[in-house]
Amino acid sequence: MAKPIITAFDWVPDFARGQVRDLRVRWALEEVGQPYDVLYLAQGTQKADAHRARQPFGQVPTYEDGGLILFESGAIVLHVAERHGTLLPRDPAARARAIGWMFAALNSVEPSIMDHAFATLFEAGEPWSKPRLPSIEQRIHDRFGEVARRLGDREWLEDDTFTAGDLMMISVLRIMEEDGFLSPHPNLAAYVARGTARPAFQRALADQLAGFTGSPPPEFAAWLKQQGETA
C-alpha cells in the first residue's frame, strides 16, 4: 500500500529548525502509527508552479494520499485524526471540543506569536516593529494565561485524554518556550513538557531535523549575514 507523502524543506535557518509546520503533521502520523514519505523542497522551489498546484500559497506542508491533496497543517492533522480513528474521542461532544481546541491553537493563540516573530526577526529593522512589541507581548501573555487557567491541574485539555487539540496547542505554545512566556504558568510549561516527551513527538522531531541536508540559497545567505550584523 502506498504511503502518504508530505512536503518539507531541505533547509531552513537554525532558528526555524524544529518549528516548521510539517512537524505537526509528522507528529500526528507518528501518533497514529502511519508511515509516510517526504518530498523535500529546496528553498525557493515552493513558489514554483509545480508546488503551487499542491499549495496555492507556496508553503509547506502538504499531504498527498492517492487522489487526495491537502494543505494547511491543521486541516491535515484533522484528516489524519479522523481517518485513523485516534487523536479524537469517540464521544461526539468530546470530539467537537477537541476540534475546537485545534482551531483555538491556530486562530486565538498563534497569531500573536507570529506577530512577535515579525517584530523581532523578519521585520525587526522596520520603524513600526519596536513600538508594537510591548502590545504584542502582552497579547501573548494574556492568551497563555487564558489557556493555563482553562487547563488547570488537568493532564490534557479535555477529559485527560491526549487529542489532536493538545497536539496543535502544544505545537503552538512551544514556539515561545525559549522566550520565557511559559515561565509564569508552571502548569502550562509542564503541559508542553508532557506533550514533547511523547515518543511520537520525539520521532517526528528527529525525522524533521535529519531532513535538513540542503544549503541556503544566495538570497537567504545574504539575509542571514544581515541579521548577524544587526543583531
Cis peptide bond N-terminal to 56, omega within 30: no
As a whole number of angstroms, the distance between CA 165 and CA 159 comes to: 12
As a whole number of angstroms, the distance between CA 190 and CA 172 comes to: 15
Q: Strands 37-41 and 5-9, how do they pair?
A: parallel
Q: Do 165 and 158 touch, CB atoms closer than 8 A?
A: yes
Q: What is the pLDDT of residue 230?
A: 33
Topology classification of domain 5-86+202-230: Glutaredoxin (3.40.30)
Digit-by-digit pLDDT tens for the chain (231 residues) are 689 999 999 999 999 999 999 999 999 999 999 999 999 999 989 999 999 999 999 999 999 999 999 999 999 999 999 999 999 999 999 999 999 999 999 999 999 999 999 999 889 889 999 999 999 999 999 999 999 999 999 999 987 899 999 999 999 999 999 999 999 999 999 999 999 999 999 999 999 999 999 988 877 666 555 544 333
Q: Grid cell 496547542 — which residue?
A: 169
Q: Hey, which residues does 64 pair with through a beta bridge? A: 5, 69
Look at domain 92-197 and name its CATH class. Answer: mainly alpha
Q: 56 is written with which cell numbers?
A: 496555492
Q: Hey, which residues does 40 pair with through a beta bridge? A: 8
Domain edges within the chain: 5-86+202-230, 92-197
Helix (H) or strand (E) holding 5: strand 5-9
Q: Strands 37-41 and 62-65, how do they pair?
A: unpaired
Helix (H) and strand (E) counts in the chain: 10, 4
Q: What is the pLDDT of residue 2?
A: 84
Q: Strands 5-9 and 62-65, how do they pair?
A: antiparallel
Q: What is the pLDDT of residue 229?
A: 37
Q: What is the pLDDT of residue 203?
A: 98
Q: Do 178 and 168 touch, CB atoms closer than 8 A?
A: no
- The answer to whether domain 5-86+202-230 and domain 92-197 are alike in fold is no
CA nearest neighbour of 188 among 218, 146, 125, 229 = 146
